[in-house]
Amino acid sequence: MIEFDEQEKRMVLKLVYYGPALSGKTTNLLRLHDLLVREGRGELMVLDTVDDRTIFFDLLPFFLVAPSGLKIKIKLYTVPGQVKHDATRKAVLQRADGVVFIADSQTAEAANNFASFDNLEKNLAVVGLAIDRLPLVVQFNKRDLREIIPEGEIRRTWGEAGVSVIMASALRGWGVVETFRALAQQVYDHVDARHRLREAHGLERDDFLRKLTTVVDG
Amino acid sequence: MATEREADISFVVGEEKRLTDIVSAAEVVPLLKGMVRAGAAEVAVLDAEGRTLWQEKSAAAGVKLAGALPICLEGEPVGKLVIKGCAGREESLKGLARLLLDALNTIIANNLKRMLTTEIHTAVVNQSYAELLETNRRLAESEARYRELAGELEKKVEERTCELKQAHARLLQQEKMASVGQLAAGMAHEINNPLGFITSNLNTLQKYVQRLLEMLEFYRTMVGDDGATAAIAAAAHGKWQSLKLDLVCADINALIGQSQGGAERIGKIVADLKGFSHIDELAEGVADLNAELDRTISVLDHEIPGDAEIVRYYHPLPGLPCNPALLCQAFFNIIRNALQARNSGLRLVIGTLCDGAGIRVTFADNGPGIAPGVGDRIFEPFFTTREVGSGTGMGLAVAYDIVTRYGGAIEAESPAGGGALFTVTLPLQRMEHVKVP
pLDDT 10s digits, A17-59: 999 999 999 999 999 999 998 888 888 988 878 888 888 899 9
Question: Would residue B264 count as lying in a domain?
Answer: no
Lowest mean pLDDT among B146-160, B161-175, B176-190: B176-190
The one-character DSSP state at B387 is P
The one-character DSSP state at B392 is -
Contacts of A151 (CB under 8 A, 6+ apart): A140, A143, A167
Question: Would residue B200 count as lying in a domain?
Answer: no
A-interface mutation test, from B6, B11, B12, most A Cβ less than 10 A away = B12
Task: Kindly report the nearest CA distance between residue B7 and chain A, in angstroms.
Answer: 10
Yes or no, beta carbons of B75 and A40 under 8 Å apart = yes
Domain boundary among B142, B170, B187: B142
Q: What is the pLDDT of residues B300-317, one digit of tens each?
A: 887 788 888 888 889 888
Mean of all residue pLDDT scores within chain B? 81
Q: Does A91 touch chain B (CB under 8 A)?
A: yes
Q: Does A12 touch chain B (CB under 8 A)?
A: yes
Q: Interface pTM (ipTM) of the complex?
A: 0.87
Segments forming the whole domain that contains residue B125: 9-142
Q: Which of B362, B292, B359 is nearest to B332 (CA)?
A: B292
Nearest CA in chain A to B105: A43
Q: How far apart are CA B405 and CA B56, in angstroms?
A: 107
Question: Which CATH number characterizes residue B366's domain?
Answer: 3.30.565.10
Yes or no, beta carbons of B112 and A12 under 8 Å apart = no
CA of residue A94 relative to chain centroid, distance: 14
Question: Would residue B246 count as lying in a domain?
Answer: no
Question: Would residue B195 count as lying in a domain?
Answer: no
Among B9, B74, B124, the residue with its CB nearest the CB of A42 is B74
Nearest CA in chain B to A88: B124
Domain boundary among B115, B142, B169: B142
Task: Kindly report the nearest CA distance between residue B41 and chain A, in angstroms.
Answer: 31
Q: Which domains does chain A have, with CATH numbers?
A: 3-213 (3.40.50.300)
Q: How many CB contacts within 8 angstroms connect chain A with chain B?
A: 79
Question: Would residue B414 count as lying in a domain?
Answer: yes
Question: Would residue B77 count as lying in a domain?
Answer: yes
Yes or no, beta carbons of A128 and B9 under 8 Å apart = yes
Q: How many domains does chain B have?
A: 2
Give the residue-averaged pLDDT of B100-113: 91
Question: Would residue B16 count as lying in a domain?
Answer: yes
Per-residue confidence band for B279, with pLDDT thresholds at 50, 70 and 90: low
Domain boundary among B142, B169, B196: B142
Burial of A123 (0-12, 13-18, 19+ CB in 10 A): buried
Question: Residue B237: is its pLDDT beyond 70?
Answer: yes
Q: Which residues of A touch B9 (CB under 8 A)?
A: 94, 127-128
Task: Cite the DSSP H helix spans in B348-407.
Answer: 395-405
Question: Residue B282: is its pLDDT beyond 60?
Answer: no
Q: What does the pLDDT read at residue B5?
A: 40
Name residues 161-180 of chain B within 8 A of A (Cβ). Answer: none
Question: Which CATH number characterizes residue B89's domain?
Answer: 3.30.450
Per-residue confidence band for B179, with pLDDT thresholds at 50, 70 and 90: confident
Work out the end-to-end distance of chain B between its first and last CA atoms, rounded to an integer number of angstroms.
56
Q: What does the pLDDT read at residue B133?
A: 93
Per-residue confidence band for A154, with pLDDT thresholds at 50, 70 and 90: very high
Q: Does A127 touch chain B (CB under 8 A)?
A: yes
Q: Does B115 touch chain A (CB under 8 A)?
A: no
Q: How far apart are CA A32 and CA A29, in angstroms?
A: 5
Q: Does A181 touch chain B (CB under 8 A)?
A: no
Q: What is the pLDDT of residues B238-267, one digit of tens each?
A: 888 898 888 888 888 888 888 888 888 888
Helix (H, G, I), strand (E, B) or coil at B412: strand
Per-residue confidence band for A209, with pLDDT thresholds at 50, 70 and 90: very high
Q: Does B117 touch chain A (CB under 8 A)?
A: yes
Question: Would residue B131 count as lying in a domain?
Answer: yes
Q: Does B121 touch chain A (CB under 8 A)?
A: yes
